[in-house]
Chain A
Amino acid sequence: MAFFTIVMSPGLSKPQHRRAALVGPPAVASTGPVDEQMSAAGFDRVQVVDVTEQFLATARAWLAELEDGEKELRPMLGDAEYAQKRRDRKEIIAGTEEGLLVRLLVTGVA
């Protein structure tokens, strides 16, 4: 099994945890380190690689595209959806830059 996942950084304070849950993807608040979850699920040779820098670059590129294409995208998506998408991208970037979120490549063998 191999997958990318966005999770909360370890060791967050309660306020940071709340903010990470707010700005991260819907299920970002899953509990426990991912390597331990994988082991508990029966996977061996679990490896976890931090790919947060690449993720930040991709998220920033999406935001730039969204802002550059605003004139065409607003009519296509509608004002509310466009604003939501822009807000979501900005928040996940901010949360990652603040060190609240990390993106990981996880592999394991069952």
Chain B
Amino acid sequence: MGSSKEELKSRAAFGETYGRGPSALLDEMERRVLGGVWGANGYTTVAEADRLAKELSLGPADHLLDVGSGRGWPGLYLAKTTGCRLTMTDLPFEGLRVALDRAALEEIDVTGASVASAKALPFAARSFEAIVHTDVLC
């Protein structure tokens, strides 16, 4: 399936943002607003990510799919705090690269990362015990 015009626009915009190097100022802003530093600029706070984990009863036996993971928020955080395995998808490659680098650095169990549209995910049915997304499909 080809990407829609909206997806191409979104990929370009987020790709540019995710491709920027780290910034102490942006990190500090994110910490104050969301409660953590995961390269996020959306509306899901750490407390809300914890709520997702609770709703899904996430644990080490689970394989989690994070759709529209950006630079790894909240998937990496959930994998780190619950011990679940993680697969991430998003349109811009740049964000996934940042997320994979962080996963390697912090030894977070990432099973895979895929550049893919949420409209056409490249996974078989029942590949995951849990799925999250945060303000992606809205």
Report which A residues bind B (CB closer than 8 A). Answer: 1-7, 24-28, 30, 51, 54-55, 58-59, 61-62, 65-66, 69, 72-73, 76, 103, 105, 107, 110
Contact B138–A2 (Cβ < 8 Å): no
B48 touches A6 (CB 8 A): no
Please list the residues of chain B having a beta carbon within 8 angstroms of any beta carbon in chain A: 6, 9-10, 23, 25, 29, 32-34, 41, 43-45, 48, 51-52, 55-56, 126, 130-138
- Are B25 and A58 closer than 8 Å at their CB atoms? no
Q: How far is the CA of A75 from the CA of B23 in the complex (A)?
A: 13
What's the A-B contact tally at a CB cutoff of 8 Å? Answer: 77
Additional 4 contacts, C-beta under 8 A, given A66-B29, A107-B55: A1-B132, A3-B132, A4-B133, A26-B10
Given the complex of chains A and B, what is the CA–CA distance between A27 and B4 in angstroms?
Answer: 12
Q: Which residues does chain B contribute within 8 Å of A72, judged by CB atoms? A: 25
Query: Considering residues B6, B132, B133, B138, which has the most beta carbons from chain A within 10 angstroms of its beta carbon?
Result: B138
Name A5's contact: one of B10, B51, B137 (CB within 8 Å). B137
Of A7, A58, A105, the residue contacting B51 (CB under 8 A) is A105
B52's closest neighbor in chain A, by CB?
A2
Selected from B25, B48, B56, the residue in CB contact (under 8 A) with A76 is B25
Contacts of A51 in B (CB 8 A): 48
**Contact between B132 and A6 (Cβ–Cβ < 8 Å)?**
no
Q: Which residues of B contact A30 (CB under 8 A)?
A: 137-138
Residue from the list A61, A73, A76 in contact with B33, Cβ < 8 A? A61
**Residue from B29, B34, B130, B135 within 8 A of A1 (CB atoms):** B130
Query: Within 8 Å CB of A76, what residues of B?
Result: 23, 25
Verify B138–A27 contact, CB threshold 8 A: yes
Question: How far does the Cβ of A94 sit from chain B's closest Cβ, in whole Å?
Answer: 15
List the B side residues contacting A54 at CB < 8 Å: 45, 48
Decide if A4 touches B131 in the complex (CB within 8 Å). Answer: no
